Chain A
């Protein structure tokens, strides 16, 4: 199942284990100037608020209602990254792993291939959490990972328009696959609450319609799947469409003040 809790999405499979939970949140950040050195993106600007499309259906486009899901506010020119956090409440030494696919405009963020809901061997088109704790950006056409930057759909600048020649979807797409329970059991044999397990090592606390275009390079990697594609439970996949609302329309839609715009050198599209 997939629920919205505060400012995070929770992919949850209590039928597998009570802690088979992946928390996903969106963190906005400024777009780095193109000529600045590649660097890690920080989280100082906070998580974005997330709302159900169904709660504001009468104020949203028909295409959003049809897709369902959730929406977030973002100003054109602002960037975001996707945070992934397994459930490690109570010091669980063996958090339940998930494979996560992410797309924008139904283009896979990590391969630029068309969106699919299977996991690809070879050119890995998904991230595995843990150990991966974020999806920092979008693969560039030069095959370097780049910041993803909000830009108006139909502007001609979104990755979707550049690659597919049309602006049909926009937004962000996510799909999460829990590990097969049998694989998890053998992986976590011998661990017990309070101890430390193999896959928890290296876990660190970290802590109208837009699409995404490429920004400057980011210094980050997508870690290879340590378990292999056959480890994931395809039957239990959950997915969500995250619509990107221009933050200037947020108050008119939700009645709430949007987060203030970030001061950054790269804002554009206004």
Chain B
């Protein structure tokens, strides 16, 4: 099995960081780790897929560093953003059912889900 299969998040951020580093040396492991507030050795473990979890706050900082979508990086870590959790928590039955109903729809169909303006009696 490839490393990306076992460790999609670590492999992804390493590849992204390394691609930036080719043209900008401030994307070294040490400097990126410093900017997001972790030890370089810890970020190295994250990239190698060793047992080194990152908090949501650190993942969001990393997403900013690497110009990545925050939700995508969170999902690669098996996490969901706090704001999304809050949306679901407010109406758990409705959103759980909605997500299940949508799981097999192609992207273009999901993007076309719209909310109609309700017309009443007048």
A3 and B116 within 8 A (CB): yes
A68 and B115 within 8 A (CB): no
Alpha-carbon separation in the docked complex, A70 to B118 (Å): 8
B114, B118, B122: the one contacting A52 at CB < 8 Å is B118
Tell me the dominant secondary structure on chain B's binding face: loop
Cβ of B106 to closest chain A Cβ, rounded Å: 16
B122 and A70 within 8 A (CB): no
A173 and B117 within 8 A (CB): no
Sample 9 A-B pairs with CB under 8 A, ordered by A number.
A1-B116, A52-B117, A53-B118, A67-B120, A67-B121, A69-B120, A169-B122, A173-B122, A241-B119
The yes or no answer to A23 lying at the interface (CB within 8 A) is: no
Tell me the dominant secondary structure on chain A's binding face: strand
Q: Mark A57-70, 1 if CB is under 8 A from B, else 0.
A: 00000000111111
B115 and A241 within 8 A (CB): no
B residues 38-83 with Cβ under 8 Å of A? none
Could you say which residues of chain A place their CB within 8 Å of the CB of B118? 52-54, 68-69
A2 and B117 within 8 A (CB): yes
Could you say which residues of chain B place their CB within 8 Å of the CB of A173? 122
B120 and A4 within 8 A (CB): no
Alpha-carbon separation in the docked complex, A3 to B114 (Å): 7
Cβ of A249 to closest chain B Cβ, rounded Å: 21
Residue on B nearest A53 in the bound complex, by CB: B118
B116 and A68 within 8 A (CB): no
Residue on A nearest B114 in the bound complex, by CB: A3
Q: Mark A32-59, 1 if CB is under 8 A from B, else 0.
A: 0000000000000000000011100000
Could you say which residues of chain B place their CB within 8 Å of the CB of A240? 117, 119
Could you say which residues of chain B place their CB within 8 Å of the CB of A106? 122
Tally A-B pairs: CB < 8 A: 44
B114 and A1 within 8 A (CB): yes
Cβ of A231 to closest chain B Cβ, rounded Å: 24
Could you say which residues of chain B place their CB within 8 Å of the CB of A69? 117-120
Task: Classify chain B's interface size.
Answer: under 10
Known: A52-B115, A69-B120. 8 other contacts (CB 8 A): A2-B117, A66-B121, A66-B122, A68-B117, A68-B119, A69-B117, A173-B122, A240-B119
B115, B116, B122: the one contacting A67 at CB < 8 Å is B122
B117 and A9 within 8 A (CB): yes
Residue on B nearest A11 in the bound complex, by CB: B117
Alpha-carbon separation in the docked complex, A53 to B117 (Å): 9
Q: Mark A132-157, 1 if CB is under 8 A from B, else 0.
A: 00000000000000000000000000
A2 and B120 within 8 A (CB): no
Could you say which residues of chain A place their CB within 8 Å of the CB of B114? 1, 3, 5
Residue on B nearest A68 in the bound complex, by CB: B120
A residues 58-84 with Cβ under 8 Å of B? 65-70
A1, A66, A238: the one contacting B120 at CB < 8 Å is A66
- Counting from the closest, the 5 A-B pairs by CB-CB distance are A68-B120, A68-B118, A67-B122, A67-B120, A3-B114
Alpha-carbon separation in the docked complex, A52 to B120 (Å): 12
Alpha-carbon separation in the docked complex, A222 to B115 (Å): 32
Could you say which residues of chain B place their CB within 8 Å of the CB of A9? 117
The yes or no answer to A248 lying at the interface (CB within 8 A) is: no
Cβ of A175 to closest chain B Cβ, rounded Å: 10
Cβ of B50 to closest chain A Cβ, rounded Å: 45
Could you say which residues of chain B place their CB within 8 Å of the CB of A70? 117
Could you say which residues of chain A place their CB within 8 Å of the CB of B120? 65-69, 241
